[in-house]
Amino acid sequence: MAEMRVLHHFEGGVVQPFEVGEGEITFDLRGENGILCVMLENAPDELFVKILTSARNRKMLLGQGLIASADERYRDQRPFPMQEEDGDAMAGVVAGMGNRFYLSTRYLYGVKRLAALCRRVVGPDIKMRWLRKMGRTVPVFEVGTDDGKKTVHYFIAGEDAWETTGSITADGMLRLIASHGTPICEMLDSMVIRVVPLLSPYSACLANPSYTTLDGKAVWATATWADDVPPPEISLVCEEIVKTVQEKRLGLMLNIHSWQGQNPNSMLEAIKTASNGAELDKPRAEWAAMALHTLIRDVPKGRAELAGKTWHPGVARDYMLGKHNAITFRLEVTTVGQGRDNFYETARALLTNMAKVADWSPVCG
């Protein structure tokens, strides 16, 4: 059999250091960007994979495993368990994927999958438009006709480059709406839904602080909503949402993240107090707690919390409450013990439950 080859780092980025052996391969992910996204060719039926990595990645991979896919559109992604070895090493066996497949430490979502989503859902019921600023672009899928009066709901994913499970969940929302596979489809005449499945242009292939300012400085974009000059992608979406708040029309604003396999639950959160001291009064706090309880129903591995403050200033929910007195939400989707079917089920539950919240007016105070 021909020697196994690592063809490229797909979706962009660089190939991490590796060493090929007889029936095995070792990747060194201990560098600054410890994310694996490669295509293998001439792989054996059972491939022993060894990963040298950081403590944070070890915890994630113990919960999630390595992700393999033989499909260029990443429709057959499968997790393979990893076990800790001595030192910085982890190991597992990837089997049954054929001799050419993609191997990753993240569930995969990038520009190829976004293009496939466009082909699948864009039509009479779902439009797509591009927000553009300073050479950057953000795709926005819009469901419903905005007459300037309807409640507007936002689902934003891919805000952090490597948290791709959030993008898969947002992708699933649009596919469900396009197939009329959720009760929310019966209510679309009375609302507008805007979905951003991939806010980050970098997908799974680069580390979390992979956004750059226009002068090339790396930033952690999630914490830049309150900056005087946020990265263009954040600024584009933020400007549109703030306008909706000023019109008193904002409904559910949900930023969908993924802490991958670092925690066993998909956590839904809102906050009572912003870092600048702005806080919800008792009636709005009670409404937020009710909304959290309603939205998390039937979400696989779901939990919800109305937190006192966010753990980091400048993130969306902190900025929106502190600057605009608006209640917004964040979801961290776990990859522990679940894959794409459950990510899509999370999408279904969120859309179904959103329809059960009869009054969104407390969002804007």
Average per-residue pLDDT for the chain: 92
**122 and 254 housed in the same domain:** yes
DSSP 8-state class, residue 189: G
186-200 pLDDT tens trace: 888 999 999 999 987
**CA pair distance 104, 35, nearest whole angstrom:** 8
In Å, what is the CA distance from 133 to each residue of 29, 214, 239, 286, 317? Answer: 34, 11, 11, 38, 23
- High-pLDDT (> 70) share of the chain, %: 95
Tell me the residue range of the domain where 338 lies. 111-364
Rg of the chain (C-alpha set): 21
pLDDT of residue 11: 63
In this prediction, residue 338 carries a pLDDT of 95
57 and 182: one domain? no
pLDDT number for residue 318: 98
Beta bridge partners of 191: 151
Cβ–Cβ < 8 Å for 284, 271: no
Number of independent structural domains in the chain: 2
DSSP string of 202-226?
TTTSS-TT-EE-TTS-EE-GGGGTT
Q: Is 281 exposed, middle or buried (0-12, 13-18, 19+ CB in 10 A)?
A: exposed
pLDDT digits (tens, 9 = 90+) for 209-256: 556 666 777 778 888 999 988 888 899 999 999 999 999 999 999 999
Under the banding of pLDDT at 50, 70 and 90, the label for residue 27 is very high
Whether residue 128 sits in one domain with residue 84: no
The confidence score (pLDDT) of residue 131 equals 92
136 and 220 together in one domain? yes
Q: Which of 49, 82, 104 is the last residue of a domain?
A: 104
* Beta carbons of 296 and 304 less than 8 angstroms apart: yes
> In which band, very low, low, confident or very high, does the pLDDT at 182 lie, cut at 50, 70 and 90?
confident
Q: How confident is the model at residue 208 (pLDDT cuts 50, 70, 90)?
A: low
Q: Which of 49, 78, 104 is the last residue of a domain?
A: 104
Tell me which H or E stretch contains 84. strand 83-84
- Residues 219, 311 within the same domain: yes
Tell me the β-bridge partners of 136: 133
Which of these three, 76, 104, 132, is where a domain ends?
Answer: 104
Read off the pLDDT of residues 16-25 as tens digits, 9 standing for 90 and up: 899 999 999 9
Residue 260 has pLDDT above 90, yes or no: yes
The answer on 227 and 117 residing in a single domain is: yes
State what percent of residues in the chain have pLDDT above 90: 72
- Mean pLDDT, range 278-298, rounded to an integer: 98
Confidence of residue 31 (pLDDT cuts 50, 70, 90): confident
Using pLDDT thresholds of 50, 70 and 90, give the confidence band for residue 161.
confident
Residues 299, 219 share a domain: yes
pLDDT in tens, 70-116: 988 788 999 999 999 988 899 999 999 999 999 999 998 888 889 99
Residues 161 and 67 in one domain: no
Instruction: Tell me: do 144 and 52 sit in the same domain.
Output: no
CATH code for the domain in which residue 91 is found: 2.60.40.3120
Tell me: do 91 and 221 sit in the same domain: no
Residue 321: closest CA among 239, 253, 221, 257:
253
347-356 exposure pattern, b = at least 16 Cβ within 10 A, e = fewer: bbbbbbbbbe
Asked if residue 312 and residue 253 are part of one domain, the reply reads yes
Cα distances (angstroms) measured from residue 177 to each of 156, 173, 194: 16, 6, 12
Looking at per-residue pLDDT, the higher value among 321 and 15 belongs to 321
Q: Is the pLDDT of residue 142 over 80?
A: yes
Distance CA(59)–CA(65), nearest Å, equals 10
Q: What is the mean pLDDT of residues 271-285?
A: 97
Which tokens belong to 171? 């992708």
| Mean pLDDT of all residues in 275-285 | 97
What CATH number has the domain bearing residue 145? 3.40.630.10
Task: State residue 10's pLDDT score.
Answer: 61
State the alpha helices, DSSP H only, in the chain.
Answer: 55-64, 111-121, 164-178, 232-246, 282-295, 316-324, 340-354
pLDDT number for residue 72: 80
Q: Does 147 lie in the same domain as 266? A: yes
**Rounded mean pLDDT, 340-356:** 96
